[in-house]
Amino acid sequence: MSTSGLSETSPRKKIRALYVTSFPTKSYRRPIMAARALNLLGIRPIIVEGWRVVEAFKPARLIASISRSFPSPLNWISRDIAYELGTFKTTSSVSPSLCFNLNVVGAVGMRMAARDKPLVLDLQDFTIQDDHTIPFYDEQMFKASTPDLVIFTSESIRKLVESRYPKLLKRTAYIPFGIDLATFDRHYIPADPKLFRSHISATDKLLMVYTGAAYLWKNREGQGIELLLRSAKLVVNEIPNALLVVQGAAKPGSRIYAWIKAWIRRLGMEGHVVLLPPMEPYAPLRMSMLKTADVLLLPIGDVLGTYYSPQQKLFEYMAASRPLAMVATPARLSVIDEKGAYIAWKREPSDFAAAIVEALTDGDEASARAAYARRLVELKYDWQWLVPQYADQIKQLMKSGDSLLVQ
């Protein structure tokens, strides 16, 4: 088998676990948490980036390529088939004792290739319909893959699924994203806040900072970029010295980038918004940006899968110990409350703008809330606490089955 997309995270060990992820591990670090947990158990983790495998495996690559010419829903179903074929090929080649798949797509391929091995779904999010149900397609994927354990990063999604589909899943657990605080601090503490301000020529501005990808789903945008821009316009009307920084939302030249630029023009926000491309998570410029931010922003769009997910950046914002303004969602409120953040309780520009203005003008109270958020991460959401919890869930799963024994 081609080794493209494969990375081994420890020396050779007797029991091997395969983790397939649809995102690069540099930007989406959940597989790294899983690998550390597996190492605690004496298991050799192998991380595979699923789409790289699709590119390296000709039949899967061909299906993915021709899917672009199909109408919806045949186009995305064909892409799913290509991905499932990739996970089947990889799982068959690696022959792991334990299988992990990020989210739902790819799980059926893993199950077909390793029918007698435990299968764990590490569930970041999935499509939730407007009536708060799972699409029929996703429900059938759950049933066909028969996961032995589903680890939810969101307690809100876990409760939703268990309440509406009590017989769908055998075993579940909740382990939040959290943050690898030691690694974050190693890059964040030495960061120079002047670096970013010099880079964007904004030494005397109040910086409102949003970092993270944006995406369009049908006629909706999931992260709340439109809400972010509308709210920032209201803030600038009240505080002319405020400047919005949107980093990592889209690459220049992409459809979503053009969409954002169109909204900036429509709102007359030229000169008040700085658009920056994606960066490496721990790039010095990005760390400087977080450190010099006067407020960090968490809007929300109208895609329920995102609405019910707390998102990685929440924990990163909290670790940065800078004032945080966010729109309330069930997932976020399960992590932090008004003691650590300024909260807009409605998904309206006026409400979010009011929270941002309060965070920018609240002085010592804003600093106190930021310090509280940082302390909360240290006590509850640092990986030094979450990795052992993850390992314990895997250990319990292995003890409950006959095919694996913890060494």
pLDDT at residue 225, rounded to an integer: 94
Tokens of 340: 């650590």
**pLDDT band at 2; cut points 50, 70, 90:** very low
Q: Is the peptide bond before 240 cis (omega within 30 degrees of 0)?
A: no
What is the share, in percent, of the chain residues with pLDDT greater than 90?
Answer: 80
Q: What is the pLDDT of residue 403?
A: 45
Q: Do residue 64 and residue 207 come from a single domain?
A: no
Whole-number percent of the chain with pLDDT over 70: 95
Distance CA 197, CA 102 (A): 37
For residue 306, what pLDDT is reported?
81
Q: Check whether residue 71 and residue 42 sit in a common domain.
A: yes
Provide the pLDDT confidence category of residue 218 given band limits of 50, 70 and 90. Answer: confident
Q: Are residues 96 and 77 in the same domain?
A: yes
Residue 404: predicted pLDDT: 45
Regarding whether 109 and 52 lie in a shared domain, the answer is: yes
Residue 405 lies inside a defined structural domain of this protein = no
pLDDT band with cut points at 50, 70 and 90 for residue 234: very high
Q: How many domains does the chain have?
A: 2
Residue of 306, 281, 391, 230 whose CA lies nearest to 25 = 281
H-helix segments, 6-99: 30-40, 50-56, 58-66, 74-94
**Alpha helix positions (H), 175-221:** 181-188, 193-199
Within this chain, do residues 36 and 102 fall inside the same structural domain, yes or no?
yes
- Give a yes or no: residue 345 inside a domain: yes
Residue of 129 and 227 predicted with greater confidence: 227
Q: Is residue 20 part of a domain?
A: yes
Q: Mean pLDDT over residues 337-362, rounded?
A: 98
Summarize pLDDT for 80-114 with one digit per residue, the tens. 999 999 999 999 999 999 999 999 999 999 999 99
213 and 318 in a single domain? The answer is yes
Which pLDDT band holds residue 8 (cuts at 50, 70, 90)? Answer: low
> 113 and 99: one domain?
yes
User: Residues 275, 371: one domain?
Assistant: yes
Residue 126 in this model has a pLDDT that exceeds 80: no
pLDDT score for 3? 37
* Rounded Cα distance, 59 and 144, in Å: 22
Q: Give how far Cα 56 sits from Cα of 18, 60, 77, 220, Å.
A: 18, 8, 20, 32
Residue 316 shares a structural domain with residue 233: yes
pLDDT band for 294, please (50, 70, 90 cuts).
very high
Provide the mean pLDDT of the chain: 92
Q: What is the DSSP letter of 240?
A: T
Confidence of residue 217 (pLDDT cuts 50, 70, 90): confident
407 in a structural domain: no
CB of 260 within 8 A of CB of 161?
A: no
- Taking the model in full, what pTM does it have? 0.91
Span 57-61, average pLDDT: 96
- Give the SS3 label for residue 87: helix
Residue 401: which pLDDT band, with cuts at 50, 70 and 90?
low
Specify the pLDDT at position 105. 95
Question: What is the model's pLDDT at position 305?
Answer: 80
Residue 268 lies in a domain: yes
pLDDT given for residue 134 in this prediction? 87
Q: Tell whether 391 is covered by a domain.
A: yes
**pLDDT band with cut points at 50, 70 and 90 for residue 221:** confident
How far is 19 from 101, CA to CA, in rounded Å? 6
Number of H helices, E strands in the chain: 18, 15
233 in the same domain as 304: yes
Indicate if 189 and 310 belong to the same structural domain.
yes
Higher pLDDT, 301 or 91: 91
304 vs 247: which has the higher pLDDT: 247
Q: Is residue 173 part of a domain?
A: yes
Note whether 365 and 279 are same-domain residues.
Answer: yes
CATH number of residue 353's parent domain: 3.40.50.2000
Q: Which residue has the tokens 């209201």?
A: 234
> Is 239 domain-assigned?
yes
> How many whole angstroms separate alpha carbon 23 and alpha carbon 31?
10
Owning domain of residue 74: 6-178+382-400
